[in-house]
Amino acid sequence: MDLFSANNITKRFANHTALDNVSIAVPEQSIFGLLGPNGAGKTTLIRIINQITGPDEGSLLFEGKPLIPSHLEQIGYLPEERGLYKKMKVGEQALYLSQLKGLTKNEAIKSLKYWFEKFEIQSWWNRKVEELSKGMQQKVQFIITIIHKPKLLIFDEPFSGFDPINVNLLKEEILNLRKNGATIIFSTHNMSSVEELCDHIALINKSHKILDGRVKDIKKNYKSNLFEIEFSSFEGDLRTLLNPSFEVKETIPDGETSKATIQINNSCTPNDLLQNLIPTVEIHAFNEIIPTMNDIFISTVNSYVSGSAEQQTNHAG
């Protein structure tokens, strides 16, 4: 079941279309990556979900019903640009914002105490926000975002400004939030985080959605039958051992062994490749080269840009 869906969303500004007929479906208790280059339209979609602005066309559903202002109580939003009051004390501000989200004072104190201890920031309670580093401020705002246990959490570049240790801390908490029932929309430029965290993604570029689906299915679809072998006991050209169904892309000496990248074509299998090599070559490692989400991101965006440019050229002609 989808907790949230946006259907055929279009949003125009004066001389710019920010979103053009974009649809996404966010399954319940999943981590959904909202990806795209700067200016693609991601932030506009996030603002529409948070009802900061409205779409010109299309519909939004929350738990299968039209999105309305009261649903904001079930949404937690951590924007890329943080917004804490610099002169207020951390604890005073966290308590105030928690109560704005519907918690009683006692509930807020109890929950904030738990999270401040978990993040080891109890000593910041009476310090002013302006005394904290950017990373420290983001920890506080992360807590305030999740404090009311919303069903839908939206994190826009949540790891910006964090060192690797705190990035891992936040990643663990995001996974725990999903485990405990939350649904998460996660916008980032960090593709390694997408691989670690996301179940599904949608890639937006120049106001259009150009790719979406389950991460594991997308990676499977972008495979190109490339394999890397590490081998020894053979100093000749591997091409002499292989039929034309196997294309040796590259061979690199690596100390006592060598590595080769080989593409399997036609209807041949990895077993066929190994059967060709094993009688002559000693195999130390054999791995399929799976494209990373970063590879897929760059390839898809570049293909879309090239296709758009070609369409414009043909139209002009």
Is residue 313 domain-resident?
no
Same domain, 61 and 134: yes
Same domain, 213 and 251: no
Tens of pLDDT, residues 223-254: 889 999 999 988 888 999 999 999 999 999 88
Tens of pLDDT, residues 67-105: 999 999 999 999 887 678 888 999 999 999 999 999 999
- How distant is the alpha carbon of residue 248 from its chain centre? 34
Is residue 304 domain-resident?
no
Same domain, 118 and 165: yes
* Both tokens assigned to 54: 């409205």
- Rounded average pLDDT over 302-316: 62
Domain count, the chain: 2
Which residues have CB under 8 Å from 118's CB, separation 6+?
none
Same domain, 134 and 247: no
Q: What's the confidence (pLDDT) of residue 189?
A: 83
CATH number at residue 28: 3.40.50.300
Same domain, 216 and 237: no
Is residue 301 domain-resident?
no
Same domain, 110 and 202: yes
Asked if pLDDT for residue 315 goes beyond 60, the answer is no
Is residue 82 domain-resident?
yes
Same domain, 268 and 173: no
CATH number at residue 270: 3.30.70
Is residue 253 domain-resident?
yes
Is residue 88 domain-resident?
yes
pTM over 0.75: yes
Round to whole Å and give the CA distance between 3 and 65: 10
Same domain, 68 and 162: yes
Same domain, 249 and 160: no
Domain boundary among 189, 220, 251: 220
Same domain, 103 and 204: yes
Tens of pLDDT, residues 120-141: 899 999 999 999 888 888 899 9
Same domain, 230 and 150: no
Round to whole Å and give the CA distance between 290 and 220: 8
Is residue 294 domain-resident?
no
Residue pair 113/144 in contact (Cβ under 8 Å)? The answer is no
Domain that holds residue 200: 2-220
Is residue 308 domain-resident?
no
Same domain, 62 and 195: yes
